[in-house]
A and B are shown apart, each in its own frame.
Chain A
Amino acid sequence: MQNIRNFSIIAHIDHGKSTLADRFIQTCGGLSEREMEAQVLDSMDLERERGITIKAQCVSLDYKANNGEIYQLNFIDTPGHVDFSYEVSRSLQACEGALLVVDASQGVEAQSVANCYTAIELGLEVMPILNKIDLPAAEPERVAQEIEEIIGIEATDACQVSAKSGIGIDELLERLVEEIPAPEGDPDAPLKALIVDSWFDSYVGVVTLVRIIDGSIRKGDKMQIMSTGRSFGVDFVGIFTPKREDMPVLECGQVGFIIAGIKEIDSVKVGDTITLQDNPADEVLEGFKEVQPRVFAGMFPVEADDFENFREALDKLTLNDSALQFEPESSTALGFGFRIGFLGMLHMEIVQERLEREYDLNLITTAPTVVYEVLKTDGNIIQIHNPSDLPEVNYIEEIREPIIQANILVPQEYVGNVISLCIEKRGVQTNMQYMGAQVALTYDMPMSEVVLDFFDRLKSVSRGYASFDYEFKYFQESKLTKVDILINSERVDALAVIVHADASQRRGREVADKMRELIPRQMFDIAIQAAIGRQIIARSTVKALRKNVTAKCYGGDVSRKKKLLEKQKKGKKRMKQFGRVEIPQEAFLAVLKVDS
């Protein structure tokens, strides 16, 4: 146990976490050169394309230190995006140490700060690492100072590395085994294993990633899930190197997997404790707090026949994404679909992309909305996941919207821009602190504003330098109103949005205008109206097309003409027929696309 080191890497997107991890794997010989496909850990296609990590994963590596000892390094990967911060704290709980990787040419980012505080709260040893040291723009001294000022940990003699070119990696590994403590725990006590992650594998069923806190687990043991009391025979235990490697036993302090012929992912909830049926532990480990989806959107299959496939796809997807929630929804405009809860906008995009790519579904997604609380006149409080569920005005006592605490880090020169943006987004400043070259801003801000376009705007007003992290704080009463959109005089429920009353007129106009741009001209005029209650507040018209005909037909070669028509047809694929009108996917997201 003395030679085990469990650690995570905390890093902002692009600060080099995956490259560093790859370098570790290479140095410790976990994979041959040929197997070393760039960035092994980001295994989903989507993750690699977007350069982010979505699911936590674990790699165990053998490292031969200068003192001749062989250490088992268990590296638990963490996702880097704000939407997935709950996964980060989960991974951290299985570790004794964390490497804080900061791009020496850029500096500390808000997301890393938040995760770093979590690590410190959990009692982890945090080791600062300055990466990309070989870039001409690298300023290790300034960044080290920034780490000290913003996070408050010693960073003057931080490791200086370049994960890309391999500089400083050996020294880093040496210091890692010295500075990060070995795990503690009682190898002879009854088994207590913390479920860090679990996912569904179509060949072996549920794979459970655990950290052994006390005791040990062997192939052939009868294990028991402590919260439910359900038992399963252990088929395999082992580690990922990153290849799956079966072992006879997982010892105290180790991080590894258990495969026990489990079919439903619900049986092994992340955060739960595993023990042995014959010799159970008497108390459970402190688990993780359950995550609540914060953003909801409707997703509807374009073809009604796809509904069952869609349900199956969602069922499968939730096997590996416990944060995803869904319930059936029916819309007069879009038919049957699901109301889906997401952690944030990125999560939503990823889910939609996976559904379309991996399950070949053609979906229409409605504009995302946050959860509102409504106090009704009868004293009941209801949660509104869907603008069209908002009760009639005379039944509403008050509407409350979710307020988040936004933590922003921004270089001084852009602080003015960021403050203006926060004010525009109805933010209330609660703190402002100068820390070296950066300013830490804290705002209370309506989450609905964040869902719209805050992140993109923040990046653009700060030329990409501002970073941002948020957490839900409370519900607050607010002057909110529902804006309906009517197409050819018929209310389209899926297009309704809840907005602040002061902005409702402007919003209505903007959405109606934007919709005119987004709905393609068709064979007839299309009237678009925005309305609050019975009052029409804006109107625009998509003029009818004059004609739709191909001028020239190519003599004997029909293939080109056919291609053209097929293309027109394909263009209609992501459109939903509403009455006679075809509405493209983009129009359902028009509210997100208005330039405010």
Chain B
Amino acid sequence: MPEFTILPPLSLYIHLPWCVKKCPYCDFNSHTYDSGLPEDEYINALISDLEYQLPTIWGRRIISIFIGGGTPSLFSAESIHKILSTVRSHLNCLPDMEVTMEANPGTVEQNKFNGFYQAGVNRLSIGVQSFDDKKLLALGRIHNADESYNAVAVARKAGFENINLDLMFGLPDQNLQQCLSDLQQAIDLFPQHISWYQLTIEPNTFFYNQPPVIPEDDDIWEMQQQGQQLLAGADYLQYEISAYAKNNQQCKHNLNYWQFGDYLALGAGAHGKISRADTGEINRYWQIRKPADYMQASVENKTSGRESIKTDQIIFEFMLNSLRLKQGFEIQTFEQNTGLNVSLISTRCEQAIAEGLLQRKGESYAPTERGYLFLNDLINLFS
């Protein structure tokens, strides 16, 4: 059983589950809508959900907020303002904390973006995915490259100085040149952060049932090698498997996930993790998936499941997350965020080191170059 001397840092995740259209590769909890978003009803549900959960985190400080989806930018600035101001009034928040919102280039209006910024959102994550209109069509996106350029311009004009662009590679029929060209166009927009990730075909998606032709493994390998060089040459340093940041402007919210921090979950299908100092428990919970059901459920019934994670699982989940970071983890972070003694993992760490997948750097463990490429094999040593 974990014992916490200090509780892990706490973030807040808010899920806004609607999209104009479901993308064929997406297996997130997103839903289309027929007539008008039930914005007010949903925001009220979020607020009552928050109020109900407050006792579980009483007295703790929030270090970051992430509004994800779905397509959060479908919501009005007023709605975003309402939820954020409620959060600020109810919770102790870190000064100048990172507040990220996801936006799709197809849903951009200057006034709206101005409003988001004024509501307190200070980081935008824009789902560009590609600058090639044909590829965007194949991915089922509703926007084109021009709209992506426009979205970045509008965001800057609204005041955003911390922007992430989401970009994919290994797209259907993509070749190396197209892949690098996408990346170069993203770099030329000089965002603070680029999430550059390989398209993976997930179960329960359209692509899973009707798989597109994606490039061969060896071609994808080439894209990854050359793409990473391109990014490094432009000072975007990889700090996680798919995350690259300039001038150390890493995503603080995601870092908290990867370092096994705590997070409060609001919204349909949102997942939370809360550690308790009194019992030493680490609890995971997840809210009702379907937006209508989530809104209708009484405030004490918005959670659809919860589990207390046992020591073995805690270790596995910690490794699953923290070894995604290029720098690995500090022993102190392990002990603080799991509430466990590092001796519990030392044998397996030694084995991973012997297999050439892990290295010890001072008071940290980090994947070796090979371990970073075969991360699943490395993580499985801890399962």
Query: A: which residues have CB within 8 A of B?
Result: 521, 523, 545-562, 565-566, 568-569
Q: For B254, list chain A residues within 8 Å (CB).
A: 555
Q: For A561, list chain B residues within 8 Å (CB).
A: 320
> Cβ of B194 < 8 Å from any Cβ of A?
no
Given the contacts A547-B221, A556-B272, A523 and B321 also touching, CB distance less than 8 Å: no
Q: For A560, list chain B residues within 8 Å (CB).
A: 27, 202
- How distant is A573 from chain B, measured CB to nearest CB, in Å? 13
Q: Which of A549, A557, A558, A565 is close to B374, meaning CB atoms less than 8 Å apart?
A: A549
Bound complex: CA of A561 vs CA of B218, how far in Å?
24
> Cβ of B244 < 8 Å from any Cβ of A?
no
Asked whether, in the complex, the Cβ of A556 is within 8 Å of the Cβ of B273, the reply is yes
Q: For A569, list chain B residues within 8 Å (CB).
A: 380, 383
Asked whether, in the complex, the Cβ of A548 is within 8 Å of the Cβ of B320, the reply is no
Q: Which 5 A-B pairs have the closest CB atoms?
A: A556-B271, A551-B198, A546-B221, A549-B375, A547-B373
- Closest residue on chain B to residue A543 by CB atoms: B218
Q: For B317, list chain A residues within 8 Å (CB).
A: 558, 562
Query: B: which residues have CB within 8 A of A?
Result: 13, 27-28, 66, 68, 197-200, 202, 217-218, 220-221, 224, 241-242, 254, 257-258, 263, 265, 270-273, 284, 286, 316-317, 320-321, 324, 370, 372-377, 379-380, 383
Bound complex: CA of A569 vs CA of B320, how far in Å?
14
Q: For A548, list chain B residues within 8 Å (CB).
A: 373-377
- How distant is B252 from chain A, measured CB to nearest CB, in Å? 13
- How distant is A580 from chain B, measured CB to nearest CB, in Å? 10
Q: For B199, list chain A residues within 8 Å (CB).
A: 551
Bound complex: CA of A18 vs CA of B370, how far in Å?
59
Q: For B197, list chain A residues within 8 Å (CB).
A: 551-552
Asked whether, in the complex, the Cβ of A549 is within 8 Å of the Cβ of B286, the reply is no
Given contacts A556-B257, A558-B321, 7 further A-B contacts (CB under 8 A): A521-B217, A546-B217, A551-B198, A555-B66, A558-B284, A560-B202, A568-B376
Asked whether, in the complex, the Cβ of A549 is within 8 Å of the Cβ of B373, the reply is yes
Bound complex: CA of A374 vs CA of B252, how far in Å?
73
- Closest residue on chain A to residue B221 by CB atoms: A546
Q: List 12 A-B contacts (CB under 8 A).
A: A545-B374, A546-B218, A548-B377, A549-B241, A549-B373, A551-B197, A551-B242, A553-B258, A557-B286, A558-B284, A560-B27, A562-B317
- How distant is B278 from chain A, measured CB to nearest CB, in Å? 23
Bound complex: CA of A562 vs CA of B271, how far in Å?
14
Given the contacts A546-B218, A547-B373, A548-B375, A555 and B68 also touching, CB distance less than 8 Å: yes
Asked whether, in the complex, the Cβ of B200 is within 8 Å of the Cβ of A555, the reply is no
- Closest residue on chain A to residue B379 by CB atoms: A565
Bound complex: CA of A551 vs CA of B196, how far in Å?
9
Asked whether, in the complex, the Cβ of A556 is within 8 Å of the Cβ of B13, the reply is yes
Q: For B202, list chain A residues within 8 Å (CB).
A: 560
Asked whether, in the complex, the Cβ of B321 is within 8 Å of the Cβ of A553, the reply is yes
Q: Which of B27, B199, B372, B373 has the most CB of A within 10 A?
A: B373
- Closest residue on chain B to residue A566 by CB atoms: B383
Asked whether, in the complex, the Cβ of A549 is within 8 Å of the Cβ of B217, the reply is no
Bound complex: CA of A569 vs CA of B316, how far in Å?
14
Q: For A550, list chain B residues within 8 Å (CB).
A: 200, 241, 375-376
Q: Which of A551, A554, A565 is close to B380, meaning CB atoms less than 8 Å apart?
A: A565
Given the contacts A547-B373, A565-B379, A557 and B241 also touching, CB distance less than 8 Å: no
Asked whether, in the complex, the Cβ of B379 is within 8 Å of the Cβ of A552, the reply is no
- How distant is A91 from chain B, measured CB to nearest CB, in Å? 49
- Closest residue on chain A to residue B222 by CB atoms: A546
Bound complex: CA of A557 vs CA of B304, how far in Å?
14
Given the contacts A550-B200, A565-B383, A557 and B271 also touching, CB distance less than 8 Å: yes
Q: For B224, list chain A residues within 8 Å (CB).
A: 547
Bound complex: CA of A556 vs CA of B265, how far in Å?
9
- How distant is A446 from chain B, measured CB to nearest CB, in Å? 42
Q: For A553, list chain B residues within 8 Å (CB).
A: 241, 257-258, 320-321, 324
Q: For B273, list chain A residues within 8 Å (CB).
A: 556
Asked whether, in the complex, the Cβ of B377 is within 8 Å of the Cβ of A556, the reply is no
- Closest residue on chain A to residue B269 by CB atoms: A557
